[in-house]
Structure 1
Amino acid sequence: MNRRAFSPPLASPVRRSLIALPLAAAMPAALAQFRVEISGVGATQLPIAVIAFRAEQQAPQPVGRIVRADLERSGVFRPLDTAGIALDETAKPELTEWRGRGADALVAGSVSRLADGRFDVRYRLWDVVKGVDLGGQSYVVSAADLRLASHQIADAIYEKLTGEKGVFSTRIAYVTRSGNYTLWVTDADGEAGQSALASPEPIISPAWSPNGKELAYVSFESRKAVVYVQEVASGKRRPVASFRGSNSAPAWSPDGSQLAMTLSREGGSQLYVMGRDGQNVRRLTNTSAIDTEAAWSADGKQLYFVSDRGGSPQIYRLPVAGGNAERVTFEGGYNISPSLSPDGRQMAYISRSGGFKVHVMDLGTGGASRAVTDTNDDESPSFAPNGRLIIYATREGGRDVLMTTTTDGRIKARLVATQADVREPVWGPYGR
Structure 2
Amino acid sequence: MIKRLLAGALLLVSALTVRADLVVEITQGVDAPTPVAVVPFGWDGEVLSEDVAKIVSDDLGRSGFFSMMKRESMLSAPRSRDQVFFRDWRISGSDYLVIGRLQPATNGQITATVELYDVLKERQIWVETVNGNSNNLRDVAHYIADQIFQQITGIKGAFSTRIVYVTAEMLGKDKYRYRLQMADSDGARPRTILESKEPILSPTWSKDGSKLAYVSFESTRPSIYVQHLATGQRQRIQSFKGLNGAPAWSPQGDRLALVLSKDGNPEIYILTLATGQLERVTRHYGIDTEPTWAPDGESLLFTSDRGGMPQIYSLHLPTKNLKRITFEGKYNSRGRLTQDGRFLSMVHQDASGFHIAVQDLKTGRLDILTSTGLDESPTIAPNGSIILYATKKGGRGVLAGVSLDGRVRFTMPNTQGDVREPAWSPFLQ
Please give the TM-score of this superposition, normalised by the length of structure 1.
0.87
Partner of 1:222: 219
Q: Secondary structure at the match of 2:413?
A: strand
Q: Aligned ranges for residues 133-144 of structure 1 at < 5 Å? A: 133-144=124-135
Distance in 2 of aligned mates of 1:63 and 1:136: 16
CA distance in 2, matches of 1:306, 1:133: 50
Compute the displacement of 1:64 (Å).
2.2
- Between the aligned partners of 1:325 and 1:189, the Cα distance in structure 2 is 41
Q: How many residues align?
A: 404
Matched, 1:256 2:258: no
Structure 1 residue 286 displacement after superposition? 0.5
| Fraction of identical pairs, as percent | 41
Work out which of the residue numbers 384, 387, 392 in structure 2 matches 1:390.
387
Structure 2 residue 77 is the aligned partner of structure 1 residue 80: no
Q: Separation in 1 of the partners of 2:355 and 2:385?
A: 18
Which stretches in structure 1 are left out of the alignment for 5+ residues?
Answer: 1-27
Identify the match of residue 51 of structure 1 among 39, 43, 47.
Answer: 39
Displacement of 1:309 in angstroms is 1.0
Inter-partner Cα distance in structure 2 for 1:98 and 1:369:
43
Distance across 2 between alignment mates of 1:268 and 1:431 = 37
**Contact 2:116–2:127 (8 Å) recurs in 1:** yes
Aligned partners of 1:44 and 1:273: how far apart in 2?
47
Unaligned stretches of 5+ residues in structure 2: 1-15, 170-175
**Aligned counterparts, 1:344-363, within 5 A:** 344-353=341-350, 354-363=352-361
Q: What secondary structure, in the 3-state scheme, does the structure 1 residue paired with 2:23 have?
A: strand
Alignment counterpart, residue 144 of structure 2, candidates 136, 145, 153: 153
Matches of 2:324 and 2:104 in 1, distance apart? Answer: 58
Report what 2:303 is aligned to: 306
Question: C-alpha distance in 2, partners of 1:130/1:371?
Answer: 39
Matches within 5 A, 1:248-327: 248-277=245-274, 279-327=276-324
1:128: how far off? 1.5
Pair 34,139 (structure 1): closer, same or farther in 2 beyond 3 Å: farther
Q: How does 1:7-406 map to 2 (within 5 A)?
A: 31-43=19-31, 45-54=33-42, 58-85=47-74, 86-91=76-81, 92-111=83-102, 119-178=110-169, 179-277=176-274, 279-353=276-350, 354-365=352-363, 367-406=364-403
Pair 1:144–1:395, CA change in 2 (3 A): farther
Indicate conservation of the 8 Å contact 2:260/2:268, yes or no: yes
1:157-204: CA deviations, max 9, x gaps? 112222221000011111111231111111123332111111111110
Distance 1:213 1:117, change over 3 A: same
> Aligned with 1:154: secondary structure?
helix
Q: CA offset at residue 250 of structure 1?
A: 0.4
Cα 1:292/1:149, change in 2 over 3 Å:
same
Higher mean C-alpha displacement, 133-142 vs 194-203:
133-142
CA RMSD of aligned residues (A): 2.4
- SS of 1:98 mapped into structure 2: helix
Cα deviations by residue, 1:370-401 (Å, 9 ceiling, x for unpaired): 12223222111111111111211111233322
User: Which residue identity is paired with 1:32?
Assistant: A
Give the match's secondary structure for 2:182.
strand
Q: Supply the distance in 2 between the matched residues of 1:345 and 1:75 (Cα, whole angstroms).
A: 24
Q: In structure 1, give the amino acid aligned to 2:184.
A: D
